[in-house]
Structure 1
Amino acid sequence: MINSTTSPYRILVVEDNLGDFTLIEEFIIERVDFPKIEHANSFKEAETLLAKPENIYHIILLDLSLPDKNGENLIHEIIALSRHTPVVVLTGFSDFEFGVKSLSMGVSDYLLKEDLNANGLYKSLIYSAERQKISNKLKESEKQVRSFANQLNNALEEERAHIAREIHDEFGQQLAGLKMSLSALRKLKNSPEAQEEFINSLVEEVNNSIEMVRRIANELRPVLIDKLGLPIALEWLVKEFAKKTGMSSEVNVVDTPLVLDKIVEINIFRICQEALTNIAKHAQATEIKLDIACIENTWHFKVSDNGIGIPNSLNNSISMGLLNMKERSYLIGATLIITNNLPSGTIIEITVNPND
């Protein structure tokens, strides 16, 4: 039985036949504790009730033959006004094809009045409400997926633009400089000492170009992960971050071999990278700390800072940075916990068991 003692179970019955309404009301009262039943004799009355923002119903029971509207047109109008409230059609006509069609129009259930009883109506109320909850969750999930896909595409485009700028502005300029230097070198063929000095400067420019290519490649795919493992790659990440931001840093790594799948490693690296990016953008921190430990085959990665914590505007499911971390954690079967450690900063914890 539906218990509505704390929050009344509100039902709108749209029915012009007083006898049918009385019977429906009795069936509802038989199975629902203290329901709040409201009655509309016509579509116009139902429209007036549904238009009021304060009128939020758990279910709408709709007769298909009203004096001012009926059939498909009535269903379309009520669905449009329902604000995602489940609509159960009650009818005296046993038209199977129309019943199936009404379900495709958004109706939650289709009940024949001649077969109606308390148990059948109660089941329809429960099933319709649960289906609506599931449907709402699916719609919200789809909305989040679309939002994430859109933001991810934007992030990829921004990253491509960033790499293109670095290649064009820095690497391109270095290559142009090398070209001019080589042209100038031709003019120094009669001065061995000047040639030697020029060649040394060319070697330095080439070394700078090589270093830049390595840096760009490392941003795309950290080589340290493949060569030296995740802990050293994360230690390098934190130190580079501290160098760029001027923050002080501390890294504590358990001296234990780390055995993780490469996909897991790269995702953990990216989560930590995203955490550091959020710290730089929003935390107003002066100190960062990374702790890596293994307890009973479960690896723990903790990034913490001494900043102001996560702003409320970011602490939601569609914030790009947080959503990105959550999605990566989900993909590798890791647990992600983000805690505002007020009044001093944020703690981001990732736990993963290679054997799970």
Structure 2
Amino acid sequence: MLRFACLRMVLCFTVALFIGSPTCRAAEPLTILQDTPAQYTIGRSIYLLEDPAGNLTFEQVQQRQSTFVKSQQEAPVYGPSSSVVWGYFRVRNQSQEAKWYLEIGSSYLYAVDLYRQKAPGSFELLRAGAGQPFQSRLLKTNRLILPLHVAAGTERTFYIRFRSRSILRFPLQIATMPVLYEANHRADVVNGIYFGLLFALMMYNLFVYFSLRDKAYLYYVLFIFSVAAEIACIRGYLHEWWPEPLLWQVNTRVFLGLAILFSLLFTNAILQVQQNLPWLYRWRWIMVACLFLVLLLNLLGFYVWAFTTMLLTFIPIYLYVYSAGILIYRQGFKPALYYTLGLAAFGAGIIIYIAKDNNLLPDTIFTESSLQLGNFIEAVVLSYALTSKFNMYKQEKEQVQAQAMQQATTFSQELIQSQEHERKRIAAELHDSVGQSLILIKNRLLLLQKQIDKPDKVALYAHDLLQTVAHTIGEIRGISYGLRPFQLDLLGLTQSIHGLAEEVSEASGIAIRVQADLIDGILLQEQEINVYRIVQESLNNIVKHSGAHQANIVIGREEQQIRIIIEDNGKGMPVSSAIATPKQGFGMRGIQERLSILAGKLVIKPAEPHGTIFQITLPVAATPVLI
């Protein structure tokens, strides 16, 4: 008997090797359905055959049944693949329930075809998958569920065909409808809470965007929406509500690409990567180009290649945004800390989910929900990062306003002191000069009165009196000119600047050359006096501090601005002096204040080979020049 058994095994092995007959194979796994338990995982009870070209017919597959290989995984996975995978499994129903159902755990699979045996040698086709219209499903649910309907006490063979446009993974379980309903109900409650919380966060940040017009909030909303839409696609919800003409978007994972794009835009907006890390910001176009390549591959029908390219693009983009968060936080931008933590939470969820999809981690409630959990934590933390950024900018704005208020108060105090000094100077001049002249005139009039009978002395006193009156009139005119240049009203701004340059040149010995376009009537009168004082104070600085012996003033009228350039050949001044500080002289601060009133700009730069150049730009309305 033993020799007969050994001979039979050798014979079977030889036949199987050369002929491929299934009759000598080991007993195929058989799933026995009983009243309890009412749920069976059949991942290790199914035989699989990969069809890379995807052109095998059902009849050809039946003929190749001997080439099928038994699955060694609870959830068979082939990674990103365009192949078609066939499988077959056998079921014997020893329960009292005839209505059993097959659930395919991956709702995003493009096509799932079940060949259900009705009688020996007779099969009927049942279709499911994301590539089919939702209304054509036998069971209108987000899950891919197909009826097996195995009568009690019978045994049936089922063939099934899988096809995907991304990850090819198909967890399989057979269960009764009450069991499936209870399990899916719990999952739907969790998913409902998840989508509801994300919707609340999106609406809140959308209102904030409309209030602040900060693009970071808009990119945040679009990023969260894209991730939520992608997860709704993975879970099978979006297929039910998405319009049928746009069904291809659900099936090609376009929302994943949009999520990656908006995450890049959100990173650049909230972290201000362009200003803080310009060298890193230049790499963004490479990743954007990769995303457009993904879109092009989708449009051309290379869906798996597009999905693989998207996964490869995700790695550098994740490194980009994560590195930006760490580096900018080290620069002192506190919201970057919350941004980095949120990104880390989502990254951990993605890693756990991918490990689960590749059977590196067990398929549990936690690993299945890790993607949503990580995304929710990220959404909350990123929302807090936006709030932190807003609060930080608010505090900085309040500090700037406080500093501006302090500077304005200091300037007002100095202005009052300057006015008091000016009054004191005018009072001193009136007392020491005009007052003394008037006393002298009074005394000479008294002497003239006493010498009325001496004609020669009267003539002498009258002459001295005329000289004193003329001198007094000149002093009064000088004081009045210091308060308000009369040339502005009589001659205009252009000639007033020419006259000012001549007076300063005569008084200081500095050769001042003026080249000016006609700018009279362009500005209001109160603006013209500010321009005049700016030029006057600039020339005073040259006289007092530059040590120059030559200066040039160039005034040009351009399309919508006046450009004034004042250059000297003195010893120069530091560029930092262009910024008014509390320790700075009142003259430069006065220039800054007048420029602020005129909405002008001042740029100070060194002249060649030495000296200083003042470049003043004043905006004006596009009005014709008055001649």
Amino acid at match of 1:231: T
Q: Contact 2:487–2:495 at 8 Å: present in 1 too? A: yes
Say yes or no: does 1:306 pair with 2:573.
Answer: no
Aligned mate of 2:617, from 341, 344, 351: 351
| Contact 2:561 2:619 (8 Å CA) reproduced | yes
RMSD over aligned Cα, in angstroms? 2.9
Superposed structure 1 runs of 4+ greater than 6 Å apart: none
- 1:262 Cα offset (Å): 0.9
Instruction: Show the counterpart of 2:468.
Output: 205
Shift of 1:328: 1.0
Give the distance between the partners of 2:443 and 2:487, measured in 1 at CA: 35
TM-superposed deviation, 1:248: 2.0
1:29 is the counterpart of 2:295: no
Instruction: Confirm whether residue 264 of structure 1 aligns to residue 527 of structure 2.
Output: yes
- Which residue of structure 2 lines up, in the alignment, with residue 181 of structure 1? 444
Unaligned runs of at least 5 residues, structure 1 = 13-24, 34-115
SS at match of 1:252: strand
Whether the 8 Å contact between 1:309 and 1:342 is mirrored in structure 2 is: no
Given candidates 568, 578, 594, the residue that maps to 1:328 is 594
The DSSP-based 3-state class of the residue aligned with 1:6 is: helix
Whether the aligned pair in 1 keeps the contact of 2:493 and 2:519 (CA below 8 Å) is: no
Deviation at 1:177, TM superposition (A): 1.2
The answer (yes or no) to whether the contact 1:288–1:304 under 8 Å persists in 2 is yes
Deviation at 1:200, TM superposition (A): 1.7
Q: Structure 1 337/182 Cα, relative in aligned 2: closer, same or farther at 3 Å?
A: same
Give, in whole Å, the separation in 1 of the partners of 2:448 and 2:531: 49
2:272 matches 1:6:
no
- The question of whether the paired residues in 2 share the 8 Å contact of 1:27 and 1:117 is answered with no
Distance in 1 of aligned mates of 2:619 and 2:338: 56
In the alignment, the residues of structure 2 paired with residue 316 and residue 353 of structure 1 have an alpha-carbon distance, to the nearest angstrom, of 20
Separation of aligned partners in 2, 1:32 and 1:170 = 80
Aligned to 1:245: 508
Q: Is the 2:494–2:518 contact (alpha carbons within 8 Å) kept by the matching residues of 1?
A: no
3-state SS of 2:325 partner: coil
- Percent identity reads 26
Secondary structure of 2:448's counterpart equals helix
Q: Deviations over 1:261-319 (max 9, x none)?
A: 21121110111111122222221222222223323364333222111222578443223
Q: Does the residue aligned with 1:4 lie in a helix, a strand or coil?
A: helix
Cα shift at 1:8: 3.5
Equivalent residue letter for 1:30: G
Measure the CA separation in 2 of the matches of 1:308 and 1:27: 50
Q: Which residue of 2 aligns with 1:215?
A: 478
Deviation at 1:353, TM superposition (A): 4.5
Rate the CA distance shift 1:152–1:5 in 2: closer, same or farther, 3 A: same
Amino acid at match of 1:336: L
Query: For residues 168-207 of structure 1, what are the alpha-carbon distances to aligned partners after superposition, in whole Å with 9 as ceiling and x for unaligned?
Result: 1111111111111112212322222221222122111111
Find the aligned partners of 1:291 and 1:281 in 2 and give their Cα distance.
Answer: 21
How far apart, in 2, do the equivalents of 1:262 and 1:26 lie? 54
* Residue pair 1:28, 1:118 contacting (<8 A) in 2 also: no
TM-score by length of 1: 0.65
Judged with a 3 Å threshold, the aligned counterparts in structure 2 of structure 1 residues 122 and 243 are, in CA distance, closer, same or farther, namely same
Q: Deviations over 1:102-134 (max 9, x none)?
A: xxxxxxxxxxxxxx9423432333222222222
- 2:514 is paired with a residue whose SS is strand
Which residue does the alignment assign to 1:148? 411
Q: Is the 8 A contact 2:494 2:519 kept in 1?
A: no
Write the letter of the residue equivalent to 2:595: S
* Alpha-carbon distance between aligned partners in 2 of 1:137 and 1:121, rounded to the nearest angstrom: 24
Distance 1:210 1:11 in 2: 65
The answer to whether residue 497 in structure 2 is matched with residue 234 in structure 1 is: yes
C-alpha contact 2:326 2:340 (8 A) present in aligned 1: no
Whether the 8 Å CA contact 2:602–2:615 is kept in 1: the answer is: yes
Higher relative contact order (CA 8 A, sep 6+): 1
CA offsets per residue over residues 310-341 of structure 1, 9 Å max, x none?
25784432232222112212212333333332
Q: Residues 48-59 of structure 1 correspond to what in structure 2 (within 5 A)?
A: none
Q: Check conservation: 2:546, 2:570, Cα contact below 8 A.
A: yes
The match for 2:98 is none
